[in-house]
């Protein structure tokens, strides 16, 4: 048992007294000055079933994710989630197709079923694609030369450049309009193509067939131009021009052998020409010996001044020639000369 002195007992009594006074003070203070709290009031929220459904729908719409930020790619479900009806969606789609798609908010707002408020709601997550610019197609003129239900592989052997496209189950073959088609068409050895008309086409729509070594099919010498002649081995621009000039002075070739008469044509070059050309005598221009003057007749390579003068004098002395054979009565015209000039003369 603990023993306290008199001073310790008095100190303990004073301490306990103070503690008791503080305890009584705080107790009384809490009772006298504590504020009164207001009573809790519970408000009862009541929703009808319809209101509750609409509230749920609104919450679902606020949480949906669009399939794309581009309104041109929105599905019907996207428009529905944004609050549009089926009828409005049809109107929007019809307008979109009419203008070729939406590329700005201004275009979107022009659709009368989309209000300005709705535009403000959706513009924050819309991203438009750049408008498509259709560049004008570069077109060129082509000549249609052949149409067939099956591919024609022979044509590409003739032309160095040929175009085709399949249209309505038909193979349509074209060549550049600058090609001298008429000269090729008059070549009777080629019957697989003809001029079927000119068309303006885009080369990108055609398949191009290139043949670096096209076959040179024999062509008609009386209508050939310098370009065609230059394609023959050994015939350059000089010989091409000589051949054409000589052809003009003759009125046309009646035989391939006449090419030997062109200045500078060697036997080797002549042999090369034999396989590349052909002659149609019907295209030769003839001379009416009953009307021609000496001055005009001597311009022909086969009629020198003596022969031309003899023919015209005979006509003056004996009257008009009744037959080409009558020209043989002129002493200067032997059988060899007659055979040479006969294709070029006529009496009417």
CA–CA gap between residue 108 and residue 185 (Å, rounded) = 59
Q: What is the DSSP letter of 37?
A: P
Q: Please give the structure tokens belonging to residue 209.
A: 């067939």
Write the DSSP assignment of 270-299 as a string of letters. HHHHHTTEE--GGGPPPEETTT--HHHHTT
- Cα 11 → chain centroid: 116
Model confidence over 83-123: pLDDT tens digits?
888 888 888 888 888 877 888 888 888 887 888 888 887 77
- Say which residue the tokens 């052949």 belong to: 146
Q: What are phi and psi of 59, to 5 degrees?
A: -65, -35
Radius of gyration, CA atoms only, the chain: 54
CA–CA gap between residue 112 and residue 98 (Å, rounded) = 14
Lowest mean pLDDT among 50-54, 160-164, 237-241, 310-314: 50-54
pTM of the model: 0.44
Q: What are phi and psi of 172, to 5 degrees?
A: -105, 125
Count other Cβ atoms within 10 Å, centred on residue 117.
8
CA–CA gap between residue 340 and residue 338 (Å, rounded) = 5
Q: Please give the structure tokens belonging to residue 342.
A: 């006969």
Model confidence over 3-18: pLDDT tens digits?
667 677 777 777 777 7
Q: Please give the structure tokens belonging to residue 245.
A: 């000039």
């Amino acid at each position: 048992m603990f023993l306290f002195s008199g001073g310790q007992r008095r100190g303990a009594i004073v301490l306990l007294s103070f503690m008791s006074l503080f305890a009584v003070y705080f107790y009384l203070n809490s009772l006298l000055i504590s504020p009164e709290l207001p009573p809790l009031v519970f408000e009862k929220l009541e929703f009808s079933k319809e209101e509750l459904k609409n509230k749920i729908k609104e919450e679902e719409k606020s949480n949906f994710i669009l399939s794309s930020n581009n309104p041109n790619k929105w599905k019907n479900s996207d428009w529905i989630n944004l609050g549009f009806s089926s009828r409005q969606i049809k109107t929007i789609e019809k307008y979109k197709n009419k203008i070729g798609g939406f590329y700005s908010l201004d275009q979107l707002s022009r659709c009368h079923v989309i209000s300005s408020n709705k535009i403000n709601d959706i513009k924050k997550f819309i991203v438009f694609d750049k408008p498509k610019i259709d560049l004008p197609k570069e077109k060129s003129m082509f000549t249609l030369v052949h149409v067939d239900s099956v591919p024609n592989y022979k044509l590409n052997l003739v032309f160095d450049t040929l175009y085709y496209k399949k249209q309505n189950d038909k193979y349509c073959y074209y060549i550049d309009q600058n090609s001298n088609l008429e000269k090729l068409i008059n070549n009777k050895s080629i019957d697989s193509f003809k001029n079927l008309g000119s068309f303006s086409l885009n080369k990108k729509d055609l398949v191009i067939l290139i043949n670096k070594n096209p076959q040179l099919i024999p062509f008609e010498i009386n209508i050939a131009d310098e370009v065609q002649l230059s394609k023959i081995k050994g015939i350059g621009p000089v010989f091409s021009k000589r051949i054409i000039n000589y052809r003009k002075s003759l009125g046309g070739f009646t035989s391939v052998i006449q090419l030997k008469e062109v200045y500078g044509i060697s036997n080797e070059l002549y042999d090369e020409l034999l396989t590349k050309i052909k002659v149609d005598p019907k295209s030769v221009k003839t001379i009416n010996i009953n009307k021609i003057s000496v001055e005009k007749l001597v311009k022909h390579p086969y009629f020198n001044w003596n022969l031309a003068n003899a023919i015209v004098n005979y006509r003056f002395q004996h009257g008009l020639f009744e037959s080409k054979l009558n020209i043989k009565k002129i002493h200067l015209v032997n059988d060899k000369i007659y055979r040479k000039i006969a294709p070029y003369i006529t009496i009417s």
